[in-house]
Structure 1
Amino acid sequence: MTTPVLRTARLEFLPYRPEHEDVFVALLRDAEVCRWMGQDRVPEPQLRELFRAILTDVYPQRRFDVWGLWLGDAYVGHAEVKPTGNVDGHELVTALAPGHWGRGLGGEAVRGLLRHAADNLGLTEAYGMVGAGNTASLAMCERLGFRHVRDVVAEDGSVTKLLVIPTRDPGGEGSV
């Protein structure tokens, strides 16, 4: 199955195309985005290589689903549903550009990913990894119904919260 186009009330999830490279690189070079994703800033050439790998390896090999997030004509972030190495399951990944924080787009993106995970991938649950200091994302995850599984402590002592959520509401009446 190829990565589909997804839509929520405000967002369009589009598989990346070559002309999206610069916005992808700018997002993942942003110091605040890197801080809250719990990663160091990656040199631009490596990000460009990563972007090209999405187009030449991830999509053709159907390794996992990855999108650019768009609000109208504006690129606002990145999203993925992929196997996770922390547990046996799939992880939801989102990253929004700082200019779009605090507007409910993160929760909307996660709900769109959950619907895709349930309807298109047949998943019954999904995981998230959130830095312990990322209080805004942790609060969003709590509102959405994620529950804490365990803390993952890195070699440098930093803590990431491993969270899990059913892809459908507990009553099974529909997607989150």
Structure 2
Amino acid sequence: MTPVLRTERLDFLPYRPEHEDHFVALLRDAEVCRWMGQDLVPEPQLREVFRAILTDVYPRHRFDVWGLWTDGAYAGHAEVKPTGNVDGHELITALAPAYWGKGLGGEAVHGLLRYGADTLGLSEAYGMVGAENTASLALCRRLGFRHVKDVVGDDGAVTKMMVIQSPAPSRAAGADGLAREGDGPRA
């Protein structure tokens, strides 16, 4: 089961039914979609995706997916899942524009990396970043990602495949700055 995680400013909460409108609003934002390299998906289709998270992804333990919350407000979305591009796991984060430029993207990636190392035993993780997404590419460089290859889509769009080494697994509870809880999402 996808656990609740906490970093200094972020709560990683498994989605609940009442989070649906937040998820849909995030992924209906044209700027978020642009930088995620995806088309603006119709609202009914996003609602189907959200419901699939609750009825298929979580019950079948397909991968881990969270809503990101800060100070009780929905700030974005995060995932750790197997990638179809290489044999490995991909980190996915998407923040609402109101939370861009505040360091939360890096904090989210660090939280995902820590979880991947400690819980999933990952020695490395991948990220896919649109070639035009200069802010996310700069963040990747600051965090220590390195470029693996360019992936060219059917439409000619270029996505940069990046990889980063995971931190050594933490053995001491709380020593990694990532709290795990079995109960009580605060949002």
Note whether the superposition's TM-score is higher than 0.5.
yes
1:175: Cα distance to partner?
Answer: 6.4
So what's the TM-score if we normalise by structure 2? 0.89
Distance in 2 (alpha carbons) for counterparts of 1:175 and 1:32: 33
- Unpaired runs of 5+ residues, structure 2, are 169-174, 178-187
- Aligned letter for 1:162? M
Distance in 2 (alpha carbons) for counterparts of 1:8 and 1:168: 15
Structure 2 partner of 1:139: 138
So what's the TM-score if we normalise by structure 1? 0.95
Residue pair 1:115, 1:167 contacting (<8 A) in 2 also: yes
Does structure 1 residue 72 correspond to structure 2 residue 71? Answer: yes
State, as a whole percentage, how many aligned pairs show the same letter. 78
Structure 2 partner of 1:155: 154
Per-residue deviation, residues 102-151 of structure 1 (Å, max 9, x unmatched): 00000000000000000010000000000000000000000000000000
Structure 2 partner of 1:43: 42
Structure 1 partner of 2:26: 27
- Aligned letter for 2:78? A
Structure 1 partner of 2:59: 60
> How many residue pairs were aligned?
171
- Greater helix proportion: 1
Residue pair 1:6, 1:12 contacting (<8 A) in 2 also: yes
The Cα RMSD (Å) is 1.3
Partner SS for 2:159: strand
Distance in 2 (alpha carbons) for counterparts of 1:37 and 1:65: 18
Partner SS for 1:61: coil
1:15: Cα distance to partner?
Answer: 0.1
Residue pair 1:114, 1:175 contacting (<8 A) in 2 also: no
Residue pair 1:168, 1:175 contacting (<8 A) in 2 also: no
Distance in 2 (alpha carbons) for counterparts of 1:158 and 1:51: 26
Per-residue deviation, residues 11-32 of structure 1 (Å, max 9, x unmatched): 0000000000000000000000
- Aligned letter for 2:49? L
Distance in 2 (alpha carbons) for counterparts of 1:10 and 1:109: 9
User: How has the CA–CA distance of structure 1 residues 175 and 156 changed in structure 2, closer, same or farther, with 3 Å as cutoff?
Assistant: farther
Distance in 2 (alpha carbons) for counterparts of 1:72 and 1:118: 26
Which stretches of structure 1, 4 residues or more, deviate above 4 A after TM superposition? none
Residue pair 1:93, 1:128 contacting (<8 A) in 2 also: yes
- Aligned letter for 2:144? G
Distance in 2 (alpha carbons) for counterparts of 1:175 and 1:113: 12
- Unpaired runs of 5+ residues, structure 1, are none
1:7: Cα distance to partner?
Answer: 0.6
Per-residue deviation, residues 32-52 of structure 1 (Å, max 9, x unmatched): 000000000000000000000
Partner SS for 1:60: coil
1:73: Cα distance to partner?
Answer: 1.0
Structure 2 partner of 1:91: 90
- Aligned letter for 1:126? A
Distance in 2 (alpha carbons) for counterparts of 1:153 and 1:19: 37
- Aligned letter for 1:9? E
Partner SS for 2:62: coil
Structure 1 partner of 2:109: 110
1:168: Cα distance to partner?
Answer: 1.0
